[in-house]
Amino acid sequence: MGNKLLLNVVVFEDDATQKEILENKIKVAGFNVKILFIDPTEFYDPKEDVFNEEAFLLSINELVKGNYIHLIASDWNLFKGTEKCSTITGIDMVQKMSSIQEKFRKTQYLLYSGNIDEASKYVLDQIKKEIDERKSDDINAIQLLSLVLNSRIKFIKRGPHFDEIVQLVSSEKNISSIVLNSLENFNQTTLINTGNDEFDGRQIGHFLTLIQQNDNAGFKFIKEFTDLGIANYTEINGA
């Protein structure tokens, strides 16, 4: 295990060359930042004019599996719609990630665009359209409004977004992420044995999931192991 802790950042971009740029620019002192890069255009077949939604979602699931995600960033214009395929925007990625796993509803999001006014207007227009027409279009306005109000979403102009990613991911460093980094290094089927009936007999993966979901039982687990670690090392040093 290295001395540096891992910070995982999911990035949605329609330009594959951005991955290397992000890896070079996104640096946090004392941490390794891992860019989990996804290009939606890779799942579009121009000959058939078909977007493979199933493969796209499967790819996302495989990429984030077993990782604590500190930040999800997305370009606004990801895929221009065609006759058969809908346009894909940054807000669609917030919806997809939130639907994939409950824990991603509480993750910090950063949406960036060359025209930030256009992006924000799009969201407002979708909600207004639903109210005016009293019907659902491609995006259900009530769900979208709830998503925007309840999620941690920040909009920013493209360009300064590199520095913003660094600031946001740095702000996500906390005791929970440190514990999660440690737990992810172990076999997730390993059973806990602390002498506490509340935790013993359960797998590490069980508590990893609870912590990722900000469940109170997960925080109790963190406290238990913090207390055990302090007690163990104070006994050793005091011996």
Q: Domain extents for the chain?
A: 5-171, 175-238
**CATH topology (fold) of 5-171:** Rossmann fold (3.40.50)
Contact criterion met (CB below 8 Å) for 119 and 111 = yes
Q: What residue type is assigned to position 179 of the chain?
A: V
pLDDT for residue 1: 42
Query: Could you report how far apart the first and last alpha carbons of the chain are, in Å?
Result: 28
Pick left, alpha or beta for residue 216 (phi over 0 → left; psi -120 to 50 → alpha; otherwise beta).
Answer: alpha
For the entire predicted model, the pTM comes to 0.72
- pLDDT (tens, 9 = 90+) of the chain, 239 residues, equals 456 778 899 999 999 999 999 999 999 888 889 999 999 999 999 999 999 999 999 999 999 987 888 899 999 999 998 989 988 999 889 888 988 887 788 788 999 988 877 777 777 776 666 666 655 555 555 566 666 655 688 888 988 999 999 999 888 766 666 676 667 667 778 888 877 788 888 887 788 777 767 677 777 887 777 787 778 777 655 55
pLDDT for residue 76: 93
pLDDT for residue 98: 84
